[in-house]
Amino acid sequence: MIKTMRDFPAVEELLQMQELADTIVQVPRPVASDIIKATVADLKQQLQKTGKPITHRKLVSTIKTAIADIKRQEITRIINATGIVVHTNLGRAPLSESLIDAIKQTVTGYGNIEFDLARGTRGKRGLACERYLALLAGTEAATVVNNCAAALFIVLNTFANRKEVIISRGELVQIGGGFRIPDILRKSGAKLCEVGTTNITTLDDYASHIKPQTGLLLKVHKSNFVQGGFTEEVALKELVNLGNSHNLPVVNDLGSGVFIDMRELLGYSEPTVQQSVRAGAVLTTFSGDKLLGGVQAGLIVGKKEYIQKIKRNALFRTMRVDKIVFSMLEHLFGIYLNGNYKEKIKLWSILSVPESELYKRAKKILADIGNPSGLSVEATSSFVGGGALPESAIPSVGIVFSKEYKPTTTMTVFRKLSPPVIGRIEDDRFILDMKAIDVDDLPLLATAIKNVIE
């Protein structure tokens, strides 16, 4: 029993304690030492404040909990039962093992990231990746930076530094993590020129604000929200025609970005990269880890002269990506070019699974664990996520826990499992949506459910 400050064991003594041995080895020893110091300091304050003795069991359990909490901050594999396939908080697009296997040989050792094998001299990085991307987009040239916000930033800094950028008020969106288009625009050195209103922007609104100091016209796809009712926006092709008449470039930020017509799979469609190119945008920016199903990257496609200017910008080096990203994207674009994305890109294989198959999987899980009471298989709605099609629900199936299982408590218990299972609460019931759950994780999910209900 710890009754005074002197009764607390020394940090080194706690590090050597047999009761903590299995917990301490889970993190680097200096981290364990730091956590123990902080925990003991907190308990000392508690003792001073309350005067109540602290048991040896409480000291040990508090240290174990603190180390476990730090350990859980490390990136770990989880089972996504939220129903959101491209979940920003859970790593966005899932990657297939075959894609990882394909790049192992090129990223684990030395590689020709900046070496010209034909000439035996220093080369330029990403040439094959850029070539494949440009071919896929149907445009003259392409390049890659570290994320879509960086892509838009460097485009604005290159072509509109100290100049005005005209954008509709209805397209001044906020993207993930609190980043807002106006903030990115201002930090790039460009000057914001808002036109139109929140719900109505016409071609005349753009035309009437074009001045000698105008640098470019910017269109931003409203990918993460939907406007309804009395609305109007200018089509990209119309904006391009206006830009051409004033010798002004038009840039289109698609946000998520997609290469295929999604209507066949989901019944909904997003504007594709190819459509943006055909409409005449001199540059189109989009992400690599959302609807493309790849790694985090900012992709820029468009006219060669504009891409070359971007790559000559001194800031371009601060945004460049490494051999892992280039290698991954080369293989990803190759899959799209070969047309077998449904089989080889995990995002599309997940989205291709029909509702009937999800129903069979859910029923089998419950059967395997003895069809426990209070659990049912029901139709649900899932979503693509990643800022795409925010109100376009996809039919799905969920394992639903009745209200006798307190939803917030049940959610917490599933989250503390290994691997953690992340579900959702709907109509005061906890739901494990089957849409984004990998088929290889089904046995793990069955075990998780069994452990929780028992």
Q: Residue 264: which pLDDT band, with cuts at 50, 70 and 90? A: confident
- Which of 3.30.70.1140, 3.40.50.920, 3.90.1150.180, 3.30.70.270 would CATH assign to domain 79-92+349-453? 3.90.1150.180
The pLDDT value recorded for residue 228 is 62
Greater model confidence, 120 or 263 = 120
Q: Which residue has the tokens 């807002």?
A: 180
Mean residue pLDDT of the chain comes to 93
The predicted structure's pLDDT at residue 392: 77
The domains spanning 79-92+349-453 and 97-344 adopt the same CATH topology? no
Token digits of residue 336: 């799209």
What does the pLDDT read at residue 391? 63
Judge residue 158's burial from the number of C-beta atoms within 10 Å of its C-beta, 0-12 exposed, 13-18 middle, 19 or more buried. buried
Sign of CA dihedral 149, 151, 154, 160: negative
The CATH number of 97-344 is 3.40.640.10
Query: How would you classify the pairing of strands 191-195 and 164-168?
Result: parallel
Alpha-carbon distance of 257 to 259, in angstroms, equals 7
Give the list of residues 6+ apart from residue 85 with CB closer than 8 angstroms, or none.
347, 350, 351, 382, 383, 384, 385, 386, 435, 436
CB 399, CB 381: distance < 8 Å: no
Residues 43-54: what's their mean pLDDT? Answer: 90
Closest of 115, 138, 123 to residue 333, by C-alpha: 138
263 vs 362, residue with greater confidence:
362
Full-model pTM: 0.92
- Residue 419 preceded by cis peptide, ω within 30: yes
pLDDT tens digits along 59-95? 999 999 999 999 999 999 999 999 999 998 999 999 9
Give the tens place of pLDDT for each residue, 351-365: 999 999 999 999 999
DSSP for 89-142, please give it: GGTBS---HHHHHHHHHHHSS---TTEETTTTEE--TTHHHHHHHHHHHTSSEE
Q: What is the pLDDT of residue 198?
A: 81
| pLDDT confidence tier of residue 222, bands split at 50, 70 and 90 | confident
Q: What is the mean pLDDT of residues 293-316?
A: 97
Rounded percentage of the chain residues whose pLDDT exceeds 90: 81
What's the whole-number mean pLDDT along residues 185-204?
A: 92
Please determine, for residue 226, whether its predicted confidence score (pLDDT) is greater than 80.
no
Domains of the chain, by residue range, sit at 5-71, 79-92+349-453, 97-344
